Amino acid sequence: MEQQKRSPYYPEIPLFLVLIPFISGFNYYLTYSNVKLNWWFAFTYILDTLIGYVAWLAVRKMILWFDKKLPYSQGFAKRVTIQFLSTMFIGLFIISFLTELSSLIVYGKRAHPSFYSTDLFIISIWFFFINAIYIMIHYYYKWQGTEQKVKVDKQKLQNGFLVKEGKNEIHIPYQHILGISVEDEFVALHASEGKQYFLDKTLEKIFEELPEHFFFRLNRQFIVNRNVIQGFSKLENGKISVSLKNQLALPEEIPVSRTKAPSFKRWFRDMA
């Protein structure tokens, strides 16, 4: 339950709750040469920090929206460019609007022109920094998830697969499985040394139990171990043909559909 409620960019919330007051103070240091520590300074500092929080929350909401509508997997450069420009625009707009509003309320006049020539330029640099933090957190979790997945796959690899042979159950290590195929109404597991076992599970259910690092479901009829894959060649309409190494259990060539071909290519290249 705690995992579901946690931010996908944890710990960015406590991080920015601390970082934004620091950014506000650093901006004061860069902007003003002589700062008097009095109640007026405290008031304006707190007000600017609150404006910073509002801008950050808007930027955060936009980044979460981009995660759903334009994930990094659809193009890193495109996502980063659009995210940087959009978040900077909305962030600077909110800060400008709230600064003007607070200036009219407190001073009875608009913000000083130096706010647009100096302050906004400094603030815009911070938005690059904020975006960079979110991107780094995203890819850190992605890397962490990949590492965890490899560990899980290695653990699965040590266990293997149980099959029935008559009244006996036989343990077959995953690395000894060449592939699994649907033949007529039967699902057959093809092991090394030409052995074959019939299973009472569907191909889909079996694939869920196999370590993804070593197995790929090419189509509705075949699951193959990457150790028997020699390569692939392109066919018409985006389809591909996967070539298998010399063995008697599976065909030498297995077609892969246009929709499944991109995921196979990524799997084959990433796991190489």
Range of the domain at 94: 2-155
Structure tokens at 140: 């850190």
Structure tokens at 254: 């297995």
Per-residue pLDDT of the chain (272 residues; tens, 9 = 90+): 344 457 789 899 999 999 999 988 888 777 776 767 788 888 888 999 999 999 999 999 999 999 988 988 888 999 999 999 999 999 999 999 998 999 899 888 888 888 888 888 888 889 999 999 999 999 998 888 777 766 666 665 567 788 888 788 888 888 889 999 998 778 999 998 888 899 888 999 899 888 888 899 999 999 999 989 999 999 998 999 999 987 778 899 999 999 999 999 989 887 65
The verdict on 177 and 244 lying in the same domain is yes
Q: What is the dihedral of CA 32, 33, 34, 40, to 10 degrees?
A: 10
The verdict on 110 and 211 lying in the same domain is no
Among 119, 137, 155, the domain-final residue is 155
First to last CA, the chain: 37
SS3 17: helix
The verdict on 148 and 203 lying in the same domain is no
- By CB atoms closer than 10 A (0-12, 13-18, 19+), residue 74 is exposed
Spatial distance between the Cα atoms of 110 and 172, rounded to a whole number of angstroms: 77
The verdict on 120 and 245 lying in the same domain is no
User: Would you call the peptide bond into 11 cis, given omega within 30 degrees of 0 as the criterion?
Assistant: yes
Among 139, 155, 171, the domain-final residue is 155
The verdict on 69 and 118 lying in the same domain is yes
Structure tokens at 262: 């991109």
Q: How many CA atoms lie within 13 A of 22 on its CB side?
A: 8
Which 3-state string (H, E, C) describes 203-238?
A: HHHHHHHCCCCCEEECCCCEEEEHHHEEEEEECHHH
How many other C-beta atoms lie within 10 A of the C-beta of residue 45?
17
Beta bridge mates, 215: 225
Whole-prediction pTM value? 0.55
Of the candidates 179, 171, 156, the one whose C-alpha atom is nearest the C-alpha of residue 251 is 179
User: How many structural domains is the chain composed of?
Assistant: 2
pLDDT of residue 3: 41
pLDDT of residue 44: 86
Among 155, 186, 204, the domain-final residue is 155
The verdict on 75 and 102 lying in the same domain is yes
Put residue 26 in one of left, alpha, beta given phi > 0 → left and psi -120 to 50 → alpha. Answer: alpha
pLDDT of residue 157: 55
Which 3-state string (H, E, C) describes 68-118?
A: HHCCHHHCHHHHHHHHHHHHHHHHHHHHHHHHHHHHHHHCCCCCCCHHHHH
How many other C-beta atoms lie within 10 A of the C-beta of residue 95?
22
CA dist 210 → 38, 40, 59, 162 (Å):
67, 66, 41, 12
Spatial distance between the Cα atoms of 227 and 183, rounded to a whole number of angstroms: 22
The verdict on 20 and 64 lying in the same domain is yes
pLDDT of residue 87: 94
The verdict on 170 and 143 lying in the same domain is no
The verdict on 139 and 248 lying in the same domain is no
Of the candidates 75, 68, 80, the one whose C-alpha atom is nearest the C-alpha of residue 128 is 80
pLDDT of residue 21: 92
